[in-house]
Amino acid sequence: MHIHILGICGTFMGGVAALARAAGFRVTGSDSAVYPPMSTQLRDLGIEIHEGFDAAQLDPAPDCIVVGNVMTRGNEAVEAMLDRGLPYTSGPRWLADNVLHKRHVLAVAGTHGKTTGASMLAWILQHAGKAPGFLIGGIPVNFGVSASFGESEYFVVEADEYDTAFFDKRAKFVHYSPRTLVLNNLEFDHADIYKDVAAIQWQFHQLLRTVPGSGRIVMNNADDQLQQVIDMGCWTPTETFGSAGDADWTAEFMDAAERRIAITDPEGRSGETRWNMGGRHNLENALAAVAAARSAGVSLQQSLAALSTFEGVKRRMERTATVADIAIYDDFAHHPTAVRRSIAAMKRRYPGQRIVVAIEPRSNTMKLGVHNEALAASLADADLVWMYRPDGMDEQFDAALEPVGDRLRSFNDYDKLVSDMSSKVLSGDQVIFMSNGSFGSARQTLTAVLQRTRQK
């Protein structure tokens, strides 16, 4: 059977393509931006990629077209698909029908921590010999790929609340029918899709309706907006987790640098391990993953052993270079809460050293000004901030950043931003590039400049 994927080079759709190929389908696809590493990964799998969305790519007609959520009415390929009456479906629906069907799905949902939490969970299951499949919106370093069909009944999926397709405006995660569901947290995001947090809560409520009574929900006990979702209706046993307060699963750091953690299960059994991560947000991600893994028969001690070897996720506070004792990181943080937590974790891990940040407000929600008021506060712990100011940001954006004061330097040109950074970063600095995009390759450029000018 031949499936053709429109929008194949996104992380999610690229993962769907890899899973389809592993399942024995003939897979082709197209996208408007075809470049490494996704294009390379797909072509290595024998998947032919067409650049652009012309109608000719549908000749001869595939058996089914899988439509990515970046596709819109008016697109030439979409219009040809509809005019010709070709069979089509969405990525989440195809995944549910062809990969998740009859499997024990473990889904990780929430505004923050989905990618890291799902990666931790998949690695815990793998380390325990469960051979899970997975589809994650990032690349766990332990696996080196974002998707795998797996060899067992277990499948871990990052459960995104973004909409499914132009013809299906429900959240992606309502298609997955998880047996184990992690609810990390819930804040307002995706302002281009949802008008307010209540609209997102309604989608989470639909997700809860799909979890069987014999399943399990693992929930952050400190999140009031998640509790409101539970209060709307829940038919599944719920366990809570938290790094503070009264929860079924609890965790704490055992040292100031956050390099050793302890986890306690609902029966009061506890264990410790050293790990490579840091930050209270990652402690909560780990706690949720450990709790979810127990539904697949993984013990606390097995989970702790896996966490001790977990190497993180690419683009999630990933150290990409160290030049002249200047550490450079790539971080996907693009919501004020994630920005604040990432900076705070680095402050605790590297006391006495400067934490300097370069940030690109690229998300649709950020561009719409929804997070203006929270952005300055999220940068309070940064010693220096370089802001890339995209075209179209208004005076309210600039005014909202005034509390950052003289720690802030703003540019609308990537090269000028890098040039300024290269003259001001110091030995010992922890330099974090924060963006959910490429940041104009500014991180790579700064690395090259420092290698040329600072190394002896």
313 within domain boundaries: no
> Could you tell me if 129 and 272 lie in one domain?
yes
CATH number of residue 270's parent domain: 3.40.1190.10
Angle between helices 224-231 and 197-208 (to 10 degrees): 50
> Could you tell me if 412 and 329 lie in one domain?
yes
96 within domain boundaries: no
Residue range 302-340, pLDDT digits in tens = 999 999 999 988 888 889 999 999 999 999 876 788 888
Domain ends where: 307, 336, 366?
Answer: 307
C-alpha neighbours within 13 Å on the C-beta side of residue 333: 25
Q: How many helices (H) and strands (E) does the chain have?
A: 15, 23
> Could you tell me if 299 and 322 lie in one domain?
no
45 within domain boundaries: yes
> Could you tell me if 277 and 400 lie in one domain?
no
Range of the domain at 138: 102-307
Q: Which residues of the chain have pLDDT under 50?
A: none
What is the pLDDT, as a whole number, of residue 370? Answer: 57
Inter-residue long-range contacts of 227-231, CB under 8 Å, 24+ positions, other chains counted: 228/201, 229/183, 229/186, 229/201, 229/204, 229/205
What is the pLDDT, as a whole number, of residue 130? Answer: 98
Residue range 133-167, pLDDT digits in tens = 999 988 899 998 899 999 999 999 999 999 999 99
What is the pLDDT, as a whole number, of residue 411? Answer: 92
> Could you tell me if 161 and 294 lie in one domain?
yes
> Could you tell me if 171 and 259 lie in one domain?
yes
436 within domain boundaries: yes
**H or E stretch including 98?**
none
Domain ends where: 90, 120, 140?
Answer: 90
- Alpha helices by DSSP H, 63-196: 76-83, 91-95, 114-127
174 within domain boundaries: yes
CATH number of residue 404's parent domain: 3.90.190.20
> Could you tell me if 303 and 358 lie in one domain?
no
403 within domain boundaries: yes
Residues 384/413, Cβ–Cβ less than 8 Å: no
What tokens appear for 103 in the block? 């499997």
Domain ends where: 90, 120, 147?
Answer: 90
Look at the chain and report how many structural domains it folds into: 3
> Could you tell me if 296 and 228 lie in one domain?
yes
> Could you tell me if 296 and 370 lie in one domain?
no
201 within domain boundaries: yes
What is the pLDDT, as a whole number, of residue 281? Answer: 87
What is the pLDDT, as a whole number, of residue 138? Answer: 85
Percent composition of the chain: helix, strand, coil (DSSP 3-state, to 5)? 35, 25, 40
CA distance 432 to 302: 33
- At 202, which amino acid appears? W
- Quote the pTM value: 0.85
> Could you tell me if 357 and 425 lie in one domain?
yes
In the three-class reduction of DSSP (H, G, I as helix; E, B as strand; rest coil), residue 165 is classed as strand
238 within domain boundaries: yes
What is the pLDDT, as a whole number, of residue 392? Answer: 75
> Could you tell me if 403 and 441 lie in one domain?
yes
